[in-house]
């Protein structure tokens, strides 16, 4: 692989050359976001780089084919998309509301 200067890598990754220099010298440890931005310019897949950095365990398996299907359930893609456009605290509030409605429903069935 052709080696890149810090400035070239900075241009391609959007990470400042001063920070890349510090990472290279071991003065800073890159966060996951920085690694994510560095991966392609360096010729890595993101999860490869994450594993190298210790952010992903070596034992972590590949994702299931169906995408985000979780233990016991699957999230509707439309719902996921709409919710993802909202701020995180709104998303959390939605869960709170759902819990509230469920407990109201449970209270109603106890009568």
In which element (H, E) is residue 88 found? helix 88-109
Q: Which CB, 33 or 110, lies closer to its own copies?
A: 33
Q: Which stretch binds DNA (CB under 7 A): 17-25, 45-53, 54-62, 63-71?
A: 17-25
- 12 makes contact with DNA (CB under 7 A): no
Residues 79-108 that bind DNA (CB under 7 A): none
The pattern of x and - marking residues 26 through 65 that bind its own copies according to CB under 8 A reads: x--x-xxx--x------xxxxxx-xxx--xxx--xxxxxx
- Cβ atoms 41, 17 nearer than 8 A: no
- How far is Cα 38 from Cα 28, in angstroms, rounded to an integer? 15
In which element (H, E) is residue 74 found? strand 73-74
Distances (CA, A) of 69 to 16, 43, 56, 88, 95: 37, 29, 20, 21, 18
Give the interface with its own copies as residue ranges (CB under 8 A).
1, 24-26, 29, 31-33, 36, 43-48, 50-52, 55-57, 60-92, 94-95, 97-98
- Residues binding DNA (CB under 7 A): 5-8, 14-19, 21-25, 27-31, 33-34
């Amino acid at each position: 692989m052709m080696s890149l200067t810090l400035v070239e890598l900075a241009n391609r990754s959007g990470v400042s050359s001063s920070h890349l220099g510090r990472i290279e010298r071991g003065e800073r440890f890159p966060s996951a976001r920085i690694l994510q931005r560095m991966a392609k310019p360096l010729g890595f897949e993101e999860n490869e780089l994450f594993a190298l950095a210790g952010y992903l365990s070596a034992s972590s398996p590949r994702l299931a084919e169906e995408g985000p299907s979780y233990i016991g359930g699957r999230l509707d893609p439309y719902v996921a998309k709409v919710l993802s456009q909202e701020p995180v605290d709104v998303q959390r509030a939605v869960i709170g509301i759902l819990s509230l409605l469920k407990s109201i429903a449970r209270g109603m069935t106890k009568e």
